[in-house]
Chains A and B, each alone.
Chain A
């Protein structure tokens, strides 16, 4: 369920002046196969229809060992849909014995109560289940699967088996008004952690942006409902509301700083500093089949290229705020300005800031009704059509 760029987490260093950073987080994208077809998926538009180049169990175990040696502690099994892999139990067992805290990030399609028990036994700590809508119809409309009842059942089952549970609801203009309904549903099943994450515009979401970006008014209302709910349920449920950065005038520090905290490994073994880095075309992505993670983390051009602030050009280079946001997101800079070295155009000091405001202005008057036909759903058939178009 990849549309939740981790905004911030404590930065940890190892005291080594050459490269003081520890990759605390490993995101293992086990497969791009996914039964859901979210039109806001941040997976690459060029989805491979074939799974034959996916890393094997043994290759993943090697990756886990190398990451753990570098000091990684949090491990997210993600995708695509990680439950599609038949070796998940084996990978969890290995990861737990290495000392990882294991998180499973899933749509819950393919999950059963038996599997929950098996994964818990293997050492899984936490399951995050994503919902595409707050009721049966909208979940089906935006996920392309009729899975709402199953998701609710699995949510209850995770709680019953006493595993840590988080619910994730990706927000966009056609479901922002459902925030209240979703929170009520989460409460009724006893969820303790809920993430309301506005989708961010990479991958499929950028392609569908014109249909997904909410108006300011919608956002304000959704935040109001969320705050009201929080006040009424203090201490019982933690609710995180991640606003879309398009309405800010300063960008978010991406992935807690490029190459400082996160490592993503794609299904075929490419190593990325953030989930969306593949959108930047002139980068070379080292693969775990060719190099070990330590070499990639410490010395690859990809990881060192945008680490810190030395790479910056104006206006970031001489900006007094550069240590705060590190110039924002490189992917967004590339996608909206054509040059990954530019300031993230969310910043109002960027000469390309109008690229963002044009989109938000258009969103004020865009129709409220759901035109699902207009959305391009994430599946391999659409991926093929897209690549043929290009």
Chain B
């Protein structure tokens, strides 16, 4: 389920993970069995958009519109999502 081509396949947040804002920590977190990952502001912007089915190009477009001044955004997003895929934070949308 983590074995998919991110360039061509739609994906979404792993349904076994829970993404939310934490007031006490003043950041977004990703929760999973017995653990938690604190999200940076930019990571949270991306993961937030994976709560629905998403594609790499679609996400880059959307983020470019939301943050027109961000330089090198496409590459950053691609790298982040490749990493997110390796860690199983995102999975192929069709399974």
Show the binding face of A for B, using Cβ within 8 Å.
Answer: 6, 9-10, 12, 14, 22, 24, 70-71, 73-74, 76, 99, 101, 103, 125-126, 128, 162-164, 166, 193
With contacts A101-B31, A163-B16 known, is A71 near B23, CB below 8 A?
yes
> Which of chain B's residues have a CB closer than 8 A to the CB of A9?
34-36
Contact A162 B15 (CB under 8 A): yes
Contact B15 A101 (CB under 8 A): no
Contact B25 A99 (CB under 8 A): no
> Which of chain B's residues have a CB closer than 8 A to the CB of A163?
16
Contact B25 A164 (CB under 8 A): no
Contact A125 B31 (CB under 8 A): yes
Interface status of B29 (Cβ within 8 A of chain A): yes
Contact A71 B16 (CB under 8 A): no
Instruction: Give B19-31 as 1s and 0s: 1 = Cβ < 8 Å from A's Cβ atoms.
Output: 0101111000101
Contact A164 B33 (CB under 8 A): yes
> Which of chain A's residues have a CB closer than 8 A to the CB of B32?
101, 125-126, 164
* Choice from A71, A103, A126, A128 contacting B22 with Cβ under 8 Å: A71
Contact A103 B36 (CB under 8 A): no
Contact B24 A103 (CB under 8 A): no
> Which of chain A's residues have a CB closer than 8 A to the CB of B38?
10, 12
4 cross-chain pairs, A with B, having the tightest CB-CB distances, nearest first: A71-B24, A126-B33, A101-B31, A164-B16
> Which of chain B's residues have a CB closer than 8 A to the CB of A193?
33
The complex places the Cα of A12 from the Cα of B23 at a distance, in Å, of 13
Beyond the given pairs A71-B24, A125-B33, 6 more chain A to chain B contacts, judged by CB atoms under 8 angstroms and listed by A's residue number, are A71-B23, A74-B31, A125-B18, A162-B16, A164-B33, A166-B34
Q: Interface majority SS on B: helix, strand, loop or mixed? A: strand
> Which of chain A's residues have a CB closer than 8 A to the CB of B23?
71
* Choice from A12, A22, A71, A126 contacting B34 with Cβ under 8 Å: A126
How near does chain A come to B1, taking the closest CB pair, in angstroms?
10
How many residues of chain B get a CB closer than 8 Å to chain A's CBs?
A: 16
> Which of chain B's residues have a CB closer than 8 A to the CB of A99?
20
Contact B25 A103 (CB under 8 A): no
Residues 1-58 of B at the A interface (beta carbon under 8 Å)? 15-16, 18, 20, 22-25, 29, 31-36, 38
> Which of chain B's residues have a CB closer than 8 A to the CB of A10?
36, 38
* Choice from B16, B29, B33 contacting A73 with Cβ under 8 Å: B29
The complex places the Cα of A70 from the Cα of B24 at a distance, in Å, of 7
Contact A74 B36 (CB under 8 A): yes
The complex places the Cα of A293 from the Cα of B14 at a distance, in Å, of 33
Contact A73 B15 (CB under 8 A): no
The complex places the Cα of A163 from the Cα of B20 at a distance, in Å, of 19
The complex places the Cα of A249 from the Cα of B25 at a distance, in Å, of 35
Contact A14 B34 (CB under 8 A): no
The complex places the Cα of A12 from the Cα of B36 at a distance, in Å, of 10
Task: Pull 20 A–B residue pairs with CB atoms less than 8 Å apart, ordered by A.
Answer: A10-B36, A10-B38, A22-B25, A24-B36, A71-B22, A71-B23, A71-B25, A73-B29, A73-B31, A74-B35, A101-B18, A101-B32, A103-B33, A103-B34, A125-B31, A125-B32, A126-B16, A162-B16, A164-B33, A166-B34
How near does chain B come to A227, taking the closest CB pair, in angstroms?
22
Contact B34 A74 (CB under 8 A): yes
The complex places the Cα of A162 from the Cα of B1 at a distance, in Å, of 12
> Which of chain A's residues have a CB closer than 8 A to the CB of B22?
71, 73
* Choice from A22, A162, A166 contacting B24 with Cβ under 8 Å: A22
Residues 46-93 of B at the A interface (beta carbon under 8 Å)? none
* Choice from B15, B16, B25 contacting A12 with Cβ under 8 Å: B25
With contacts A125-B16, A164-B16 known, is A14 near B25, CB below 8 A?
yes
> Which of chain A's residues have a CB closer than 8 A to the CB of B33?
101, 103, 125-126, 128, 164, 166, 193
User: Nearest chain-B residue to A23 (Cβ)?
Assistant: B24
User: Nearest chain-A residue to B30 (Cβ)?
Assistant: A101
How near does chain B come to A342, taking the closest CB pair, in angstroms?
31
Residue from the set B18, B22, B33 with the largest chain A CB neighbour count within 10 Å: B33
How near does chain A come to B31, taking the closest CB pair, in angstroms?
4
